[in-house]
Copies of this chain bind each other. A is one copy, B any other.
Amino acid sequence: MNLDFSDDQKYLKEEARKFFEKENTLKATRKTLEDKLFIDQDLWNKVVALGWTGITIPEEYDGLGLGHLELCVLAEEMGKVLAPIPFSSSVYLFTEAINKFASEDIKKEILPKLVTGEIVGTLGVTEDLHAPTEENISTSSNKGRINGKKIAVPDAKAATHSIVVTKSSSGIDLRLVCHESDGVSINHMDSIDESRGHFSIDFKDVDSELIGEEGNGWECYQSLIDQAAVLFSFEQIGGAQASLDMALEYAKERYAFGRQIGSFQAIKHKLADMYVSITLAKSNSYYAAWALSTNSSDLPVASATARVSATKAFQFCSKENIQTHGGNGFTWEYDCHLFYRRSKLLSLNLGSLSNWKNRLVTGLEKSNIN
């Protein structure tokens, strides 16, 4: 009975923490946001050099051949510092898609270059101002040629390739597109968290390759986000923990009425509630990490449970961290808003909170626990 990470995994986590601290990553995040850089290329290069983009890639494709648990501990540390890099897009989504569903030829071609960083990937699904569904996807693929438009695609500029969710005569297909192909145009879209760039991708009769079976793209996409939700939840826990840590530090050093504001119950109980929300989310994410690493049939429910609790925890903690900081928390100069913005990005990417609550209960209905 052991619901905890191994010593090796904890060591990797500690290494990651030290790395991001040395790189002064939170400052880099602010700079990326303020200067609209979309990505910190230098930080990304170093992350690639550390081999982290190849963690789950089998050794035969030059990867480290490690499991998802290693990815979880990295995700938590990246969440703490709001790392301005396309790690989630390229590793949690694109790499997993190739790894799980692509043909041997494509794997041989793509996976080694994901390790070296020559290839960076993302995933395009959203087309309109509402949740994408199997019914409302309109980007078409016909004999491998894609036409349509995806919006709010994270990190698309830094990415060399995309997995695109398309509709074909046989249903929904996942298709691989190289951003250098003719007919691809990528444009930046303003967003509420510019520390991670978001883009539209126009497809005009663009050549593409099938990933997975024809017509089973929606199932593939669902299992991809079941997996990714676990990794996102660790980023969210990291962000929530960092928000609580900021609030704690401020509550201890800020004085009002001759006392540390952290000695007032209104603040004490607010921070206690943050701690409770993080503990619940963390425990659910640990369980989901186990389900992910063992490919358990629990994964759909476990990942939705982790996702919902982690989304709530990060949104709550980043919101109340601002409140704890009072007027200072509302200034651009303090970092509080960087976490508030990122909490919203992470809550929307992979789909909104209410969609995930619905998904959780749907999972319960399928697994009829009663």
Taking Cβ atoms with an 8 Å cutoff, the residues of A that contact B are 264-266, 269
Q: Which residues of chain B are within 8 angstroms of A264 by Cβ–Cβ distance? A: 265
Number of copies: 2
Q: How far is the CB of A257 from chain B (nearest CB, A)?
A: 12
Q: Which residues of chain B are within 8 angstroms of A269 by Cβ–Cβ distance? A: 266
Q: Can you report 5 residue pairs joining A to B where beta carbons are below 8 Å apart? A: A264-B265, A265-B265, A265-B266, A266-B266, A266-B269
Closest chain B residue to A266, Cβ basis = B265
Closest chain B residue to A269, Cβ basis = B266
CA distance A264 to B266 in the complex (A): 9
Closest chain B residue to A264, Cβ basis = B265
CA distance A265 to B269 in the complex (A): 10
Q: How far is the CB of A323 from chain B (nearest CB, A)?
A: 13
CA distance A266 to B266 in the complex (A): 6
Closest chain B residue to A267, Cβ basis = B265
Q: Which residues of chain B are within 8 angstroms of A266 by Cβ–Cβ distance? A: 265-266, 269
Please name the 5 residue pairs, one residue from A and one from B, whose CB atoms are nearest each other, closest first: A265-B265, A265-B266, A264-B265, A266-B269, A266-B266
Q: How far is the CB of A114 from chain B (nearest CB, A)?
A: 49
CA distance A266 to B270 in the complex (A): 10
Q: Which residues of chain B are within 8 angstroms of A265 by Cβ–Cβ distance? A: 264-266
Q: How far is the CB of A275 from chain B (nearest CB, A)?
A: 16
Closest chain B residue to A265, Cβ basis = B265
Q: How far is the CB of A326 from chain B (nearest CB, A)?
A: 16
CA distance A264 to B265 in the complex (A): 7
CA distance A265 to B267 in the complex (A): 9
Q: How far is the CB of A31 from chain B (nearest CB, A)?
A: 39
Q: How far is the CB of A265 from chain B (nearest CB, A)?
A: 4
CA distance A266 to B269 in the complex (A): 8
Q: How far is the CB of A251 from chain B (nearest CB, A)?
A: 14
CA distance A265 to B268 in the complex (A): 10
CA distance A265 to B270 in the complex (A): 12
Q: How far is the CB of A287 from chain B (nearest CB, A)?
A: 31
Q: How far is the CB of A165 from chain B (nearest CB, A)?
A: 34
CA distance A18 to B326 in the complex (A): 47
CA distance A269 to B265 in the complex (A): 10
